[in-house]
Amino acid sequence: MLDWLSDYTLRTVALGAATIGIVSGVLGSFAVLRRQSLLGDAISHAALPGIAIAFIITGSKSLPVLVLGAAIAGWIGALLALRLSNVTRLKQDATLGLVLSVFFGFGLMLLTFVQRRPDATQAGLDKFLFGQAAALLQRDVIAMAVTGGVALLLIVLFWKEFKLLAFDPDFAAAIGFPVRAIDVVLTTLLVVAIVIGLESVGVVLMSALVVAPAAAARQWTDHLGGMVALAALFGAASGIAGAVISARAVNVPTGPTVVLCAASVVAVSLLFAPARGLVFARLRDRRTRRRFGARHVLEHLYALSEQHEDPGHAHATSVLEAMTGRRAGVGADLDALEGQGLAQRSADGEWAITDAGRDRIRRDRQVER
């Protein structure tokens, strides 16, 4: 079961994927809260020309050089997209899309030009597109861990600033925080999170690893600290699971596998998170509806007993159905009321309010007054 721990390659890959998951989960939390989920998509695509230019300048295919180029281009792209939406009438969706597609196209042009091969597939681009975690070396993982560690340290150091920026940037500006500078730092850290995952997860899908763990974590907690920690955990788990599965199966790229693992976490969270999850919300809804329904029926039973000479006179279920205007559920509500001792069923199956039911209504009306 745990034999993969002893496999050197697999261990390296899993550790690398875990690092990527943690860093992108943490930074993604801020991006998602700031409604910048798609900034990650723009950054990862915008990184491509940086890779090409780094290769043209240095002639080297070593990972740190290419990653540095990717980071610079991604950083320029991110700031450009954010800035363009401030200085022009274009909204952020258009500026993100613009930067994403134009930078990527430019990178594609450069890469194919460098390799003198108009056919992009042969230019070895597919690795960058979909990621190949199996190519990770131990020193790559160490470099990723160190870079990611620095990014996380900065998050801890500037926790208060980032928190304020995420929830109330206007207030932050009003009390004198250098909002623009904090924004640039946070965006820079997001760039770091994305470029360290590019090689393993790929350009196309790295953005999902920013969004998914954060969106899942958001469902479980209303505290930023808890959300960030959970997102890191979800990111790491998806990373490890995806890397291990894709390393085990032949010819399955890492990026999609990691994304599907993260998406499963999202699906579970959306459905089953206790406070916000759809399943529990539905159950709560039903319980509330039933409580209100039963109360409604009790009010009508009370009204009937007030109008009748004999307060204990029983009425048919169909009468109550007509009064409440409901077809379904009145019988169930009556059973529930009987269970609480507020209504009673007569021998021929008709219903009347009990003394306890009358007291309940009167007491509640007094309270209302």
Q: Under the rule (CB under 8 A), what is the footprint of another protein?
A: 32, 35-38, 40-41, 45, 84, 87-91, 93-98, 100-113, 116, 118-121, 125-126, 129-130, 204-205, 207-208, 210-212, 214-215, 218-219, 251-253, 255-257, 259-260, 263, 266, 270, 276, 278
Closer of 73 and 145 to another protein (Cβ): 73
Q: How far apart are CA 199 and CA 128, in angstroms?
A: 6
Closer of 150 and 275 to another protein (Cβ): 275
Torsion of CA 268, 167, 71, 75, to 10 degrees: 130
Output Rg (C-alpha) for the chain, integer angstroms.
30
Closer of 256 and 293 to another protein (Cβ): 256
Within the chain, where are the H helices? 8-33, 39-58, 63-87, 92-114, 125-130, 138-157, 159-167, 169-174, 179-201, 206-218, 224-248, 254-272, 278-307, 317-324, 330-339, 355-368
Closer of 165 and 352 to another protein (Cβ): 165
Q: At its nearest, how many Å lie between another protein and the CB of residue 267? A: 9
Q: At its nearest, how many Å lie between another protein and the CB of residue 312? A: 48
Other C-beta atoms within 10 Å of 32: how many? 22
Q: At its nearest, how many Å lie between another protein and the CB of residue 180? A: 19
Closer of 38 and 152 to another protein (Cβ): 38
With a CB cutoff of 8 Å and minimum separation 6, the contacts of 74 are 43, 44, 46, 47, 50, 191, 194, 195
Q: Which of 280, 343, 278, 285 is nearest to 317 (CA)?
A: 343
Q: At its nearest, how many Å lie between another protein and the CB of residue 351? A: 39
Closer of 72 and 98 to another protein (Cβ): 98
With a CB cutoff of 8 Å and minimum separation 6, the contacts of 367 are none
Closer of 67 and 210 to another protein (Cβ): 210
Closer of 266 and 330 to another protein (Cβ): 266
Q: At its nearest, how many Å lie between another protein and the CB of residue 354? A: 41
The token duo for 279 is 């399943």
Q: At its nearest, how many Å lie between another protein and the CB of residue 262? A: 9
Q: At its nearest, how many Å lie between another protein and the CB of residue 226? A: 16
C-beta separation of 231 from 214 below 8 A: yes
The token duo for 293 is 């329904």
Q: At its nearest, how many Å lie between another protein and the CB of residue 321? A: 33
Closer of 255 and 357 to another protein (Cβ): 255
Which amino acid is located at 195 in the chain?
A: V
- List beta partners, residue 214: none
- Map tokens 């620095």 to a residue: 150
Q: At its nearest, how many Å lie between another protein and the CB of residue 112? A: 4
C-beta separation of 17 from 258 below 8 A: yes
Handedness of CA 221, 225, 227, 233 (dihedral sign): negative
